[in-house]
Amino acid sequence: MAGEITLTAAVSQVLTAWQDLVARGEMSEQTLGRFGQLLHRCEAFATARGAPLLTDLDAVLATQFVDAHGRTRHGHIAPASLSTRHLRRSVLRMCFTTARRLGLTDTDPTRDIDLPARTVGATRSLDEAETVELRLAAEFTDRPTRHAAAVALALAGGFSGEIGHITPADLDLTMARVWMHGSTKTRPRWCPLDAWGIQVLAARTHHVQNAAAPGQDIRRLRLAVSSRNGTDEQIQARVCVALRDLINRIGLGADPAVRPASITAYAGWETFTRTHRIEAAARHLGMTSLDSTATLIGHDWQHTTDPDTAPNGDNPDA
* 252-275 residue pLDDT tens: 998 889 999 999 999 999 999 999
The whole-number pLDDT of residue 211 equals: 87
Predicted confidence at residue 255, as pLDDT, reads 87
**Matching fold, domains 2-118+308-313 and 128-299:** no
Specify the pLDDT at position 1: 43
Q: Which long-range contacts (CB under 8 A, 24 or more apart) does 178-183 make?
A: 178/153, 180/156, 180/286, 182/286, 183/159
Choose from 116-120, 140-144, 160-164 the range with maximum mean pLDDT.
160-164
Looking at residue 213, its pLDDT comes to: 85
CATH topology of domain 2-118+308-313: DNA polymerase; domain 1 (1.10.150)
Cα 269 to Cα 297: distance, rounded to the nearest angstrom? 5
pLDDT at 317 over 50: no
- The class that CATH gives domain 128-299 is mainly alpha
Distances (CA, A) of 52 to 14, 22, 44, 116, 257: 16, 28, 9, 29, 36
Residue 118 pLDDT more than 80?
no
Q: What is the pLDDT of residues 149-201, one digit of tens each?
A: 999 999 999 999 999 999 999 999 999 999 999 999 999 999 999 999 999 99
CA-CA-CA-CA dihedral for 117, 82, 296, 292, to nearest 10: 110
Q: Quickly list H helices, the chain.
A: 7-23, 29-48, 59-67, 82-101, 128-138, 146-156, 160-163, 195-210, 232-249, 260-275, 278-285, 290-297
Q: Is the pLDDT of residue 280 over 70?
A: yes
pLDDT value, residue 32? 94
Distance (Å, rounded) from C-alpha 69 to C-alpha 45?
12
Which stretch of 4-8, 71-75, 268-272, 285-289 has the lowest confidence by average pLDDT? 71-75
Domain residue limits, the chain: 2-118+308-313, 128-299
Q: Contact, 152 vs 200, CB < 8 A?
A: yes
Sign of CA dihedral 309, 312, 317, 318: positive
Q: Which of 252, 12, 256, 13 is nearest to 129 (CA)?
A: 252
Check if the beta carbon of residue 170 is closer than 8 Å to that of residue 297.
no
Query: Contact 224/150 with Cβ under 8 angstroms?
Result: yes
- In the predicted model, what is the mean pLDDT of residues 133-138? 92
Decide: helix, strand or coil at residue 125.
coil
Kindly tell me if the per-residue pLDDT of 316 is higher than 60: no
The pLDDT value recorded for residue 306 is: 42
Q: Given pLDDT bands bounded at 50, 70 and 90, which one contains residue 77? A: confident
Cβ atoms of residues 278 and 290 within 8 Å:
yes
pLDDT at 3: 54
Q: Give per-residue burial for 152-161: e unless 16+ CB within 10 Å, then b.
A: bbbbbbbbbb
Question: What is the average pLDDT value for the chain, to the nearest integer?
Answer: 89
Look at residue 218 in the predicted model and tell me its pLDDT.
83
In whole angstroms, give the CA distance from residue 130 to residue 148: 15
Average pLDDT, stretch 39-66?
95
Quote the CA–CA distance of 315 and 155 in Å, as a whole number: 23
Is the pLDDT at 235 greater than 50, yes or no? yes
